[in-house]
């Protein structure tokens, strides 16, 4: 918590609109933005006139990947909202590029802003008045309370257990070094170099896996659970492919092709959906397919919203009615698919459902898909706490950033040990690693370390 370091945040509400803004404020706002900026005209943001907009790309220099096409607005102090240098990056591609841009800037030295921190700076630097600030105080109050609650929720279970194990491992190493430094008269043995390296390497591997699990779409996996259901061959997998705009599921004429659950992540106006394509529900004698059907039923149980697909080129049968029965008490959208095929066999009234929830689509002809997305979005959003979701995503980013920083410090520690550097230097870097992990699980104090020293080593005259 400082007033002059450079903070960054996604400053547009998450999940509303395809465009979003990542905002930086602080003395290094422009150099940090420059690190991720690639101009087709070879411009540098540091050389651009204040209060102008520049076109370019957001690029991860390390991996060379382009994250998004964007507009960079450079505003130099003092004529800015915070009275500090400010850069705003307008991204286009929705949630994922926004979060990736944010992570990239964090990796390049910026700090994730606390709730309301931009406005706080504006107030403390005399840019806005007390009345305006009051509103921000309320934001801090409500958001931090919520964020703290969510951070705790997220930490319960596996993640917290694994991080605590890690912290203990790293502290263990630190305790040994600290005891060795502070009690030269005692016969304290320092761990062998290869033992230390092994411990660090193990910790680093665990951290790496944790970071990867974030990369695999952790942000989104925890989003709204959406199940596509229907009897076989009504076009569920085609719908999935169509929604995610890639061929994720195998589609054939053959009923019962999808036997396991296929899941992918979809983002509608920034709303993260975990979308599940289920095996078609029908009586089957095939063991694999039977298992698939069982899982489909479970997926219905677990889902927040259901997309029930019906084939309007065929008459309604018992299997369809069974589906209707399954979604009775769930939030569901009824999708009447294949409306491109002329047929009078299907009568929607026979389903005996509220036709306000019906959407006519043709996956094949890409008809009604946009309307479907809007409908999914509005149905979902109706019941979701927006603030809670924002906090959720931000907490995730925070955690990932802390883990990445920890890995960096551990790599440095390995290097120092390999070079046989003195222990007080190794300890100082290990402490930085511990502080990073402490950002997730709570600070580790020198008292904690002393406690461990005294429980493990017999010290004293």
Partner 1 sequence: MNTYDIIVIGAGHAGCESAYAASRMGMKTLLLTLNIDNIAHMPCAPAIGGVAKGHLVREIDAFGGIMGYITDLSSLQYKTLNTSKGLAVHSTRTQVDKHFYKRLMRHHLENLPNLFIRQALITDLLIKNEKIHGVRDNFGFVFEAKAVIVATGTFLSGLIHIGNKTMPAGRAGEFPSIELPQFLKELGFEIGRFKTGTGPRLKGSSIDYTKFEIRHGDGRPRYFSYLTKDHDYQEYPCYVTYTNDRTHALILNNLDKSALYSGKIEGTPVRYCPSLEDKVVKFRDKSRHQVILEPESKDTDEIYVSGLGNSMPPSIQEEIIRSPKGLENAVILRPAYAIEYDYVLSHQLKITLESKKIDGIFFAGQINGTTGYEEAAAQGLVAGINAAAKILQKPPLIIDRSEGYIGVMVDDLVTKGTDEPYRIFTSRAEYRLLLREDNVYYRLSEKAFELGLINQQRMDEIEKELIIAKRLKNYLINTRVMDYERKEPVTLDMKIKRGELMVADIEGIQDEYPANIINHVQAEVRYQGYLDRQKKEVERLKDLERIKIYKNFDYNISGLSLEVREKLKKIKPIHLGQASRIPGITPSAISLLMFYLKRGKDSQDICC
Q: Where are the alpha helices (DSSP H) in 37-192?
A: 95-107, 117-124, 130-155, 158-182
Among 431, 434, 437, 444, binds partner 1 (CB under 8 A): 431
256 touches 286 (CB < 8 A): yes
Q: DSSP labels for 236-277?
A: HHHHHHHHHTS--S---SSTT---S-EEEEEEETTEEEEEEE
Q: 200 or 453: whose CB is closer to partner 1?
A: 453
The two three-digit tokens of residue 26, written as one number: 């602080």
Q: Which of residues 225-244 bind partner 1 (CB under 8 A)?
A: none
Of 134, 137, 108, the closest CA to residue 8 belongs to 108
Q: Is residue 191 part of the contact set for partner 1 (CB under 8 A)?
A: no
Q: Is residue 47 part of the contact set for partner 1 (CB under 8 A)?
A: no
Please state, in angstroms and rounded to a whole number, the distance separating the CA atoms of residues 370 and 372.
Answer: 5
Interface with partner 1 by CB under 8 A: which range of 191-199, 360-368, 369-377, 426-434? 426-434
Q: Which of residues 406-425 bind partner 1 (CB under 8 A)?
A: 419-425
350 touches 318 (CB < 8 A): no
Among 117, 277, 320, 390, binds partner 1 (CB under 8 A): 117
3-class DSSP state of 56: strand
Interface with partner 1 by CB under 8 A: which range of 66-74, 123-131, 243-251, 285-293? 123-131
Q: 55 or 454: whose CB is closer to partner 1?
A: 454
Among 21, 59, 181, 381, binds partner 1 (CB under 8 A): 181
Please state, in angstroms and rounded to a whole number, the distance separating the CA atoms of residues 92 and 20.
Answer: 7
Interface with partner 1 by CB under 8 A: which range of 279-287, 318-326, 327-335, 445-453? 445-453
Which residue, chain included where needed, has tokens 């130099």? 76
Among 41, 131, 185, 317, binds partner 1 (CB under 8 A): 185
Interface with partner 1 by CB under 8 A: which range of 119-127, 290-298, 357-365, 378-386? 119-127
318 touches 325 (CB < 8 A): no
The least distance separating partner 1 from the CB of residue 101, rounded to whole angstroms, comes to 24
396 touches 217 (CB < 8 A): no
- To the nearest 10°, report the CA torsion of 276, 281, 285, 288: 0
The least distance separating partner 1 from the CB of residue 295, rounded to whole angstroms, comes to 42
Q: Is residue 288 part of the contact set for partner 1 (CB under 8 A)?
A: no
Q: How many residues bind partner 1 (CB under 8 A)?
A: 51
The least distance separating partner 1 from the CB of residue 317, rounded to whole angstroms, comes to 58
Q: What are phi and psi of 342, to 5 degrees?
A: -65, 125
Please state, in angstroms and rounded to a whole number, the distance separating the CA atoms of residues 276 and 303.
Answer: 9
Q: Is residue 53 part of the contact set for partner 1 (CB under 8 A)?
A: no
Q: Is residue 123 part of the contact set for partner 1 (CB under 8 A)?
A: yes
Q: Is residue 131 part of the contact set for partner 1 (CB under 8 A)?
A: no
3-class DSSP state of 14: coil
- Which own/partner contact pairs does 117-121 have at CB distance under 8 Å and 24+ positions apart? 117/7, 117/9, 118/7, 118/9, 118/11, 118/23, 118/25, 118/81, 118/82, 121/3, 121/7, 121/25, 121/82, 121/83, 121/84
Q: Compute the radius of gyration of the chain from its Cα atoms.
A: 27
Q: Is residue 291 part of the contact set for partner 1 (CB under 8 A)?
A: no
The least distance separating partner 1 from the CB of residue 86, rounded to whole angstroms, comes to 19
Q: Is residue 448 part of the contact set for partner 1 (CB under 8 A)?
A: no
Q: Is residue 460 part of the contact set for partner 1 (CB under 8 A)?
A: yes
Q: Is residue 153 part of the contact set for partner 1 (CB under 8 A)?
A: no
Q: Is residue 4 part of the contact set for partner 1 (CB under 8 A)?
A: yes
* Contact residues: partner 1, CB under 8 A: 1-5, 114-117, 120, 123-124, 130, 133, 136-137, 140-141, 144, 148, 178, 181-187, 419-425, 427-429, 431-432, 445-447, 449-450, 453-454, 458-461
């Amino acid at each position: 918590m400082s007033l002059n370091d450079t903070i960054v945040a996604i400053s547009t509400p998450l999940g509303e609109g395809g465009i979003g803004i990542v905002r930086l404020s602080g003395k290094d706002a422009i150099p940090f933005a420059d690190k991720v900026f690639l101009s087709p005209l070879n411009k540098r943001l540091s050389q651009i006139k204040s209060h102008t907009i520049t076109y370019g790309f957001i690029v991860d220099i390390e991996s060379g990947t382009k994250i998004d096409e964007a507009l960079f607005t450079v505003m130099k102090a003092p004529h800015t909202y915070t009275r500090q240098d400010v850069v705003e990056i307008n991204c286009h591609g929705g949630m994922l590029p926004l979060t990736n841009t944010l992570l990239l800037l964090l990796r390049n030295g910026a700090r994730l802003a606390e709730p309301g921190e931009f406005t706080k700076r504006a107030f403390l630097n005399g840019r806005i008045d007390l009345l305006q600030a009051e509103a921000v105080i309320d934001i801090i109050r409500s958001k931090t309370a919520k964020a703290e609650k969510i951070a705790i929720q997220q930490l319960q279970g596996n993640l917290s257990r694994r991080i605590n194990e890690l912290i203990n491992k790293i502290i263990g190493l630190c305790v040994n070094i600290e005891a060795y430094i502070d009690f030269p008269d005692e016969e304290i043995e320092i761990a062998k170099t290869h033992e230390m390296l092994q411990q660090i390497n193990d910790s680093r591997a665990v951290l790496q896996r944790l970071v990867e699990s974030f990369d695999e779409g952790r942000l989104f996996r925890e989003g709204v659970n959406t199940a596509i259901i229907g009897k076989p061959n009504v076009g569920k997998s085609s719908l999935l492919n169509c929604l995610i705009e890639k061929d994720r599921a195998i589609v054939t004429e053959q009923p019962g092709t999808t036997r396991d659950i296929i899941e992918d992540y979809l983002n509608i106006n920034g709303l993260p959906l975990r979308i599940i394509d289920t095996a078609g529900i029908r009586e089957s004698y095939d063991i694999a397919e039977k298992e698939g059907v069982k899982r489909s039923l479970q997926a219905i149980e677990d889902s927040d919203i259901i997309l029930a697909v019906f084939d309007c080129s065929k008459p309604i049968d018992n299997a369809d009615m069974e589906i209707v029965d399954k979604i009775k008490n769930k939030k569901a959208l009824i999708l009447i698919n294949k409306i491109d095929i002329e047929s009078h066999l299907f009568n929607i009234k026979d389903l005996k459902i509220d036709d306000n929830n019906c959407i006519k689509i043709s996956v094949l002809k890409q008809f009604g898909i946009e309307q479907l997305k809007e409908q999914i979005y509005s149905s979902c959003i109706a019941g979701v706490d927006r603030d809670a979701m924002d906090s959720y995503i931000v907490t995730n980013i925070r955690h990932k950033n802390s883990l990445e920083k920890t890995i960096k410090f551990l790599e440095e520690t390995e290097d120092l040990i390999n070079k046989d550097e003195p222990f007080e230097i190794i300890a100082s870097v290990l402490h930085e690693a511990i502080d990073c992990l402490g950002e997730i699980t709570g600070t580790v104090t020198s008292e904690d370390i002393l406690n461990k020293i005294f429980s493990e080593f017999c010290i004293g005259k």
